[in-house]
Structure 1
Amino acid sequence: MATKLNEGEILNGLQDLPGWVLVGGRIEKTFTFDTYAECVAFAVKVALYAEKANHHPDSLEIMWGRVKVAYVTHSAGGVTRLDLEAAAQVDTLA
Structure 2
Amino acid sequence: MAVKLGENEVASALQRLPGWQLVQGRVEKTFAFDTYAQGVAFAVKVALLAEKTNHHPDSLEIMWNKVKVAYVTHSAGGVTHLDLEAAALVDTLA
TM-score normalised by structure 2 residue count:
1.00
Counterpart of 1:15? Answer: 15
Task: Give the Cα–Cα distance (whole angstroms) in 2 for the partners of residues 83 and 13 of structure 1.
Answer: 11
The Cα shift of 1:90 comes to 0.1
* Partner AA of 1:25 in structure 2: G
Task: Give the Cα–Cα distance (whole angstroms) in 2 for the partners of residues 28 and 15 of structure 1.
Answer: 13
How is 1:55-74 mapped onto 2 (pairs within 5 angstroms)? 55-74=55-74
Unaligned stretches of 5+ in structure 2? none
Task: Give the Cα–Cα distance (whole angstroms) in 1 for the partners of residues 13 and 69 of structure 2.
Answer: 17
Point out 4+ residue stretches in structure 1 off by more than 3 angstroms.
none
Counterpart of 1:53? Answer: 53
Counterpart of 2:85? Answer: 85
Percentage of matched positions with identical amino acids = 79
Provide the aligned length of Structure 1 versus Structure 2: 94
TM-score normalised by structure 1 residue count:
1.00
